[in-house]
Amino acid sequence: MTNASTRCGYVAIVGRPNVGKSTLLNHLLGQKLCITSRKPQTTRHTLLGIKTEGDTQIIFVDTPGIHTNQERAINRVMNRSAASVIADVDVVIFVVDRFEWSEADEYVARYISNHEVPVIVAINKVDLIEDKEELLPHLQFLSAKVNAADLIPLSALKKVNFDQLEEKVKGFIPEAMHMFPEDQITDRSERFLASEIVREKITRQLGAEVPYQVTVEIEEFRVERTVTHISALILVEREGQKKIIIGNIAKTLGKKWKKLSEKEKENFRKMNEKDKIRYNQEMEMYNNKILNLN
Ligand code: GDP
Ligand code: MG
């Protein structure tokens, strides 16, 4: 994550309602993050979708949409958040629906042209176009409307032409440190919450001794029926802080260990030789785990 050769950047997916923005984001991520629907304006809140592949981390922003009816307060609010999103990204994917070009699309086009941000026009839902030849004149039409870095016909639903889109997007992602762990796919994952809980517990238990330098990385997050297995890595900046945290963990484990061993001793006496050997091996492993912590 601290490697200088890594890339990280933000991508906004914009377009009038119902063109397929959320479908595109979900399929680019390979996970369902956003609600998609036939009803426009399903997306009310800005949501981050994170995709890390090798050195490149792309953070997609699904905007609440840009709305032409400025009269309605909710639309004004949504426009404001869309505008602030556009100002902060490295590239914009402007999604349009096949040959449709309405006043709303015109509005979005004008909107993004106010910002000095590269624009890729995604002509979506091409799976519904029978004669692909018809696309050519439309591409010319769109070029005249939008100062686009590229125009890519695709299908968000059928995942057509994703390679081309992703290649183009990557070209605009600057060299930067990754903002999120590579396995995180949204800014609101359970993993993220789990790491925050661990971090919170540490800071609460240790107080001022370990201030803000604690980073928690979730190494494993596995759901097995009703049980969730979570392994976390706790990263600190200084050796001294490590000792404090390990000391605390060892203390807690040690207490449990004592309690456990009383009961286990009883069981041990009842065991046959073969089981005793296996038990000893297991105990040694367990002891080593505790030793490793120190
Ligand atoms: P948004 O409002 O821009 O986020 O649009 P959604 O992603 O919610 O999609 C609106 C509707 O268009 C949904 O019914 C999608 O299934 C449909 N849709 C999105 N992309 C495609 C596509 O590539 N092909 C087809 N046939 N339908 C699509
Ligand atoms: Mg949406």
**Which residues does a 6 A CB cutoff place in the pocket of ligand 1?**
15, 17-23, 36-38, 40, 42-43, 124-125, 127-128, 155-157
Q: Can you name the CATH fold of 190-293? A: GMP Synthetase; Chain A, domain 3 (3.30.300)
Q: Which ligand sits nearest to residue 18's alpha carbon? A: 1
| CA-proximal residue: ligand 1, atom 19 (nearest) | 20
Average pLDDT over residues 101-105: 91
pLDDT band at 281 (very low <50, low <70, confident <90, very high): low
Q: Which is higher by pLDDT, 261 or 138?
A: 138
- Which spans in the chain are helix H? 21-29, 73-88, 103-113, 135-145, 162-170, 190-206, 239-270, 273-293
- Picking from 54, 43, 42, 56, the residue whose alpha carbon sits closest to that of residue 11 is 56
Report domain extents, the chain: 7-170, 190-293
Q: Quick one: tokens of 131?
A: 């004669």
Q: Which is higher by pLDDT, 266 or 37?
A: 266
Give the mean pLDDT of the chain. Answer: 77
pLDDT band at 248 (very low <50, low <70, confident <90, very high): confident
Q: Which is higher by pLDDT, 22 or 268?
A: 22
As a CATH number, domain 7-170 is: 3.40.50.300
For residues 145 and 105, give the distance between their C-alpha atoms in angstroms, rounded to a whole number. 10
pLDDT value of position 40? 42
Output the CA angle 132-120-22, nearest 5 degrees. 85
pLDDT band at 288 (very low <50, low <70, confident <90, very high): very low
Residue 11 in contact with residue 63, Cβ under 8 Å?
no
The four Cα atoms 282, 286, 292, 294 give a dihedral, to 10 degrees, of: -150
Tell me, in angstroms, the distance from the centre of ligand 1 to residue 285's CA: 54
**Most trustworthy range by pLDDT among 71-75, 114-118, 162-166:** 162-166
294 has a pLDDT exceeding 80: no
- Pairing mode, strands 119-124 and 215-224: unpaired
Instruction: Name the residue of 14, 18, 35, 39 to mutate for ligand 1: max ligand atoms within 8 A of Cβ.
Output: 18
pLDDT band at 265 (very low <50, low <70, confident <90, very high): low
168 has a pLDDT exceeding 80: yes
Q: For 187-226, write each residue's pLDDT tens digit.
A: 666 676 677 667 767 766 666 555 556 788 888 877 777 6
Residue 1 amino acid letter: M
If you search the block for the tokens 């041990």, which residue do you land on? 268
Furthest-apart CA atoms within the chain: distance in Å: 85
58 has a pLDDT exceeding 70: yes
For residues 189 and 202, give the distance between their C-alpha atoms in angstroms, rounded to a whole number. 20
